[in-house]
């Protein structure tokens, strides 16, 4: 059995993965801020770390992995969305958390073992902030509590940026209550009418970064095995998580391995983002008739650390590959996974190699088992082809019947010929038209 190798952002190298306790492997991934419909790029992390969780469960045992992905349900964008709609923030967060989970499920993402919400972990955040103040790493000023960056000589260890670049990169607001421009918010005041909680520093709400540190401590422990997220989270979010947790835990590191996935871009466009308007949601893609499994394969087609260019062609290629695999797999029980697929995944989740190995398998039982490692071929072959193909065939048959009715026999013949080309044979009878595959 080949060892699992993971690229660790902290060391900039692939390292053999050895959990602190193989009976309790801990994985934490920063989850969604639930205030709008997430775009397909947001789900790359969900799919990549779902794949990692599957690999870890395969290696260490189904019940020996604890995967936590948080839900950020208090945030200025949520407050703004709620104000725009004239509803409580919880109305917004519940709606978009449900939609996020529905989209993730469509992509074959298994629910994590723990999905803590920020608003359920306020006591832990307040306690951690108190500890940081006590230890001289944070200070209260003007209703805010700030982490004092110069108090932590190791700050910036993950991204290895210099201090000026970090200050510029964070676009930190220069506020009079800050001792240092790099200091970041742990707690901020809430005006009356804005969601808030009582704290030793007045009524307010937590900053984003402290959420993850406090939830990891509560649900997984001081030091976890793997922390994951998108590459855009390295700075400032993960630097800040690291600083908070290490300083609150007498120097114990937050995570033993740091994994980051690359961006998704639209073909011919910049990084997918709301502000650039080049956004497509999973719901829109499903609405266009694409299956979640096709989108999952497309999201796994590039190595997770590389950028992934999203295009209609990528979706079409992914669907064609699944059509082919489903035909080979037929409906047989899964056998034993292919060693080559496993080895590719164990080598820092090398999905391009794993998928090419998968394509070379001709034994249906082996193919089913190997595809399952990637969360693919989860349906029966009949269900896969019934789903989209049959709906389309039925639609075309209805169009042909309508054409005949209006005596447009040329169009009716054209539809029949088109279907015949796809191996669909139509059989007319007094009861109507039925079809079969050639």
Question: What residues line the site for Zn ion (CB under 5 A)?
Answer: 30, 212
Nearer to Zn ion, 212 or 358 (CB): 212
The Cα–Cα gap between 370 and 360 comes to 11
Task: Determine the Cα–Cα distance for residues 195 and 191; give it in Å rounded to an integer.
Answer: 8
Contacts of 357 (CB under 8 A, 6+ apart): 338, 340, 341, 344, 370
> Who contacts 98 (Cβ-Cβ below 8 Å, separation ≥6)?
none
> What is the smallest separation between the CB atom of 241 and Zn ion, expressed in angstroms?
6
In 3D space, the residue among 250, 305, 312 whose CA is nearest the CA of residue 40 turns out to be 312
Element containing residue 348 per DSSP (H, E)? none
Q: Which is nearer to Zn ion, 30 or 344 (CB)?
A: 30
CA distance 262 to 122: 31
β-sheet bridge partners, residue 8: 13
CB of 312 to Zn ion, least distance (A): 33
Nearest residue (CB) to Zn ion, 30 versus 397: 30
Choose between 116 and 375: whose C-beta lies nearer to Zn ion: 116
Name the residue nearer to Zn ion (CB basis): 212 or 243: 212
- Tell me the DSSP string of 218-246: HHT-SSEEEEEEEGGGIIIIIHHHHHHHH
Nearer to Zn ion, 212 or 367 (CB): 212
Nearest distance, CB of residue 391 and Zn ion, angstroms: 40
Q: Shortest Cβ distance from residue 109 to Zn ion (Å)?
A: 18
Report the nearest approach of Zn ion to the CB of residue 110 (Å).
Answer: 20
DSSP letter string, 21-47: -TTSEEEEE---B-SSPPBGGGHHHHH
Taking the complex as a whole, the smallest distance from the CB of residue 121 to Zn ion amounts, in Å, to 12
């Amino acid at each position: 059995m080949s060892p699992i190798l993971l690229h660790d952002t902290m060391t900039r190298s692939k390292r053999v993965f050895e959990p602190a306790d193989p009976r309790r492997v801990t994985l934490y991934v920063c989850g969604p801020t639930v205030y709008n419909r997430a775009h397909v790029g947001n789900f790359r992390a969900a799919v990549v770390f779902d794949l990692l969780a599957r690999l870890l469960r395969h290696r260490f045992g189904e019940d020996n992995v604890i995967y936590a992905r948080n839900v950020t349900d208090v945030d200025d964008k949520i407050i703004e969305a709620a104000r725009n709609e004239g509803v409580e923030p919880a109305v917004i967060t519940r709606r978009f958390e449900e939609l996020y989970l529905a989209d993730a499920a469509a992509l074959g993402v298994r629910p994590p073992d723990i999905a803590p919400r920020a608003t359920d972990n306020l006591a832990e955040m307040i306690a951690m902030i108190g500890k940081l103040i006590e230890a001289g790493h944070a200070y209260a000023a003007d209703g805010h509590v700030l982490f004092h960056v110069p108090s932590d000589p190791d700050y910036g260890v993950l991204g290895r940026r210099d201090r000026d670049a970090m200050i510029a990169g964070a676009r930190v607001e220069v506020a009079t209550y800050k001792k240092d421009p790099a200091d970041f918010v742990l707690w901020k005041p809430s005006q009356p009418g804005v969601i808030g909680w009582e704290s030793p520093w007045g009524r307010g709400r937590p900053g984003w970064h402290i959420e993850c540190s406090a939830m990891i401590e509560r649900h997984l422990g001081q030091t976890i095995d793997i922390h994951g997220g998108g590459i855009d989270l390295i700075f400032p979010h993960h630097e800040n998580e690291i600083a908070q947790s290490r300083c609150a835990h007498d120097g114990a590191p937050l995570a033993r391995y740091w994994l980051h996935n690359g961006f998704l871009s639209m073909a011919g466009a910049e990084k997918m983002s709301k502000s650039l308007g080049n956004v497509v949601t999973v719901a829109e893609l499903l609405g266009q008739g694409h299956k979640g499994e096709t989108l999952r394969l497309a999201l796994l087609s590039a190595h997770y650390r590389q950028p992934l260019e999203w295009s209609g062609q990528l979706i079409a290629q992914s669907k064609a590959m699944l059509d082919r695999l489903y035909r080979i797999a037929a409906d047989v029980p899964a056998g034993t996974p292919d060693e080559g697929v496993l080895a590719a995944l164990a080598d820092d989740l090398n999905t391009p190699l794993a998928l090419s190995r998968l394509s070379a398998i001709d034994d249906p039982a082996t193919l089913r088992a190997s595809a399952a490692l990637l969360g693919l071929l989860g349906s029966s072959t009949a269900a896969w082809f019934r789903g989209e193909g049959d709906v389309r065939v039925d639609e075309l048959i209805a169009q042909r019947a309508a054409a005949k009715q209006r005596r447009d026999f040329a169009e009716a013949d054209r539809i029949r010929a088109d279907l015949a080309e796809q191996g669909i044979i139509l059989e007319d009878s007094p009861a109507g038209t039925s079809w079969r595959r050639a």
